[in-house]
Amino acid sequence: MDDDIQAGASGAGRAARRDDAVRAAVEQGLLGPGSPIVGLLDVTGIRESAAELRAAFDAVVAPGTPVLHAFAVKATPLVPVLRLLRDEGVGAEVASPGELALARAAGVPPAMTVLDSPAKTPSELREALALGIAVNADNPQELERIDGLVGSAASRSPLGIRVNPQIGGGSIEATSTATATSKFGVALRDEGAREWVVQACLDRPWLTRLHAHTGSQGIPLSLMARGVAETYALAEEINRRAGRRQIDTLDIGGGLPVNFASDATTPTYAQYARVLAEEVPGLFDERYGLVTEFGRSLLAKHGTVVARVEYTKRAGGRPVGVTHAGVQVATRTVYAPELWPLRIAAYDSKGRPKEGPAVVQDVAGPACFSGDLLAEGCALPLLEQGDYAAALDTGAYYFAHHYGYNSLVRPAVYGFWPEGRFAVVREAQTVQEVVAESGGAQVDALTESP
Ligand SMILES: Cc1ncc(COP(=O)(O)O)c(C=O)c1O
């Protein structure tokens, strides 16, 4: 099937599954006056995306090429999600001790785990090497630390260097990792840096990988491919000068952008893999193993946060629906709405897609500042008290990234299957837990001097 048709077909299926899940969540009382906000994850859709990812790269690599798809845990740090992906043959890219612990709790084996953070402590490095997890050194100082560890204990960890090809950014500065001044990796175009990387590898036969992540959201495929091409060219240079195939694996990071404007999946993994095969054919001719680290593109379109409309009102002539979803579950959108707009779907009090003429209205959150809006001036059937507003495409970097403003509790997250079947992925936080996590046990800490 042609990519566009396939993207549209999977989008339509996804929207239908989502509508069924919202209705079933209301019918079953997962959503209602007492539980006015939930996150929903489409298990079928997540499995489909994982399969699309595998198939896209299987179609371009030479047979027998070792390929590891490692999900960027930061995108959706939920243990059952990591387990589901592991079930689909997808490992984990971790960037903190917490993320590593989540991956281990999900049973992701060390051989399917990659550690990438820019600020690894000596003990984190020691643990990773003891476990045999792949590590990409971010900078010369970190490589010195790894030198010490490699010299003192045997490790199965594949080791590499992260580079920044400095090919430029995309439309969102905060998620552009390959700008001239990005904080990640060795900035290849800085004076002497490229030669330093080459020499560092020649001096250390155990450095076998290069890593570059030139995403994320807002970067065109052509720019991502250029980042991979530069990294490949560097690997070729190192191997030529080493006189052997020292660099045997390229980790190309993640960063495939997500379409937040409709249900269609675009661009697709297949498109990206084809662009790479055209621009960097040598990457796929069996001389290099491949690691990918996609996050947003695997999960975003499979998550929906659904919130009850508690009140409706008018301000300055504009209708406002006051819901329970705002900055605590859509932090990026609330603070930078022009960069991270979300689509909102309206459902009636029974969880059915709401009918009626589109009316320009604000969809507000529960937090106590005026910018706490899921969407400003969006055209929807007029929301009424007791309806539900759903923020779509929020499966990555949204409700899994709770922001504790106003001590709003973390909502429950449910995975769903067709025919109204749900599983708890994460229980809702209780207010007792909020108190406990806010120093509740240390109530006298500041009034009784030590
Ligand atoms: C090193 C690394 N790999 C992968 C990712 C995942 O990017 P995305 O979610 O855009 O695919 C990130 C995101 O920040 C990252 O820093």
Which amino acid appears at position 450 of this protein? Answer: P
Evaluate whether residue 55 is within a structural domain.
no
Evaluate whether residue 229 is within a structural domain.
yes
Q: What is the mean predicted confidence (pLDDT) over 55-66?
A: 98
Asked if 414 and 309 sit in the same domain, the reply is yes
Phi, psi (5° rounding) for residue 349? -65, -15
pLDDT at 7 over 80: no
Asked if 279 and 331 sit in the same domain, the reply is no
Q: What is the mean predicted confidence (pLDDT) over 13-31?
A: 97
Å from CA of 326 to ligand 1 middle: 24
CA distance 424 to 444: 36
pLDDT at 437 over 80: yes
Å from CA of 292 to ligand 1 middle: 10
b/e map 385-411, b = 16+ CB within 10 Å: eebbbbbbbbbbbbbbbbbebeebebb
Pocket of ligand 1 (CB under 6 A): 72, 74-75, 93, 116, 213, 215-217, 253-256, 293-297
Asked if 289 and 316 sit in the same domain, the reply is no
Ligand 1 mutation pick, 96, 216, 251, max ligand atoms within 8 A of CB: 216
Evaluate whether residue 40 is within a structural domain.
no
Measured at the alpha carbon of residue 245, what is the angle toward residues 243 and 250, in degrees to the nearest 5? Answer: 135
Evaluate whether residue 20 is within a structural domain.
no
Å from CA of 56 to ligand 1 middle: 19
Please state the atom number of ligand 1 nearest to the C-alpha of residue 296.
Answer: 9
Where does a domain end: 262, 294, 326? 294
DSSP 8-state code for residue 418: T
Asked if 340 and 372 sit in the same domain, the reply is yes
Asked if 258 and 163 sit in the same domain, the reply is yes
pLDDT at 177 over 80: no
Please state the atom number of ligand 1 nearest to the C-alpha of residue 295.
Answer: 9
Asked if 311 and 283 sit in the same domain, the reply is no
Other Cβ atoms closer than 10 A to 183: 12
Half-sphere exposure for 353 (CA within 13 Å, toward CB): 10
Å from CA of 263 to ligand 1 middle: 22
Evaluate whether residue 49 is within a structural domain.
no
Å from CA of 425 to ligand 1 middle: 23
Asked if 108 and 178 sit in the same domain, the reply is yes
Ligand 1 mutation pick, 265, 293, 401, max ligand atoms within 8 A of CB: 293
For the stretch 178-189, pLDDT in tens is 677 777 888 998
Helix (H) or strand (E) run with residue 46 in it: helix 43-58
Å from CA of 404 to ligand 1 middle: 23
Asked if 140 and 211 sit in the same domain, the reply is yes
Please state the atom number of ligand 1 nearest to the C-alpha of residue 215.
Answer: 10
Give the residue whose CA is nearest to atom 3 of ligand 1: 253
Q: For residue 396, give the CATH number of its domain.
A: 2.40.37.10
Where does a domain end: 264, 294, 324? 294
Q: For residue 197, give the CATH number of its domain.
A: 3.20.20.10
For the stretch 260-295, pLDDT in tens is 999 999 999 999 999 999 999 999 999 999 999 999
Asked if 157 and 249 sit in the same domain, the reply is yes
For the stretch 218-237, pLDDT in tens is 788 988 999 999 999 999 99
Where does a domain end: 275, 294, 313? 294
Q: Which domain holds residue 348?
A: 301-437
Please state the atom number of ligand 1 nearest to the C-alpha of residue 216.
Answer: 10
Beta strands in 279-370 (DSSP E): 289-292, 303-315, 318-323, 344-347, 358-364
Asked if 281 and 374 sit in the same domain, the reply is no
Ligand 1 mutation pick, 85, 93, 96, max ligand atoms within 8 A of CB: 93
Evaluate whether residue 23 is within a structural domain.
no
Evaluate whether residue 445 is within a structural domain.
no
CA distance 9 to 13: 6
Q: What is the mean predicted confidence (pLDDT) over 394-403?
A: 96
pTM comes to 0.95
Å from CA of 255 to ligand 1 middle: 6
Specify the number of domains making up the chain.
Answer: 2
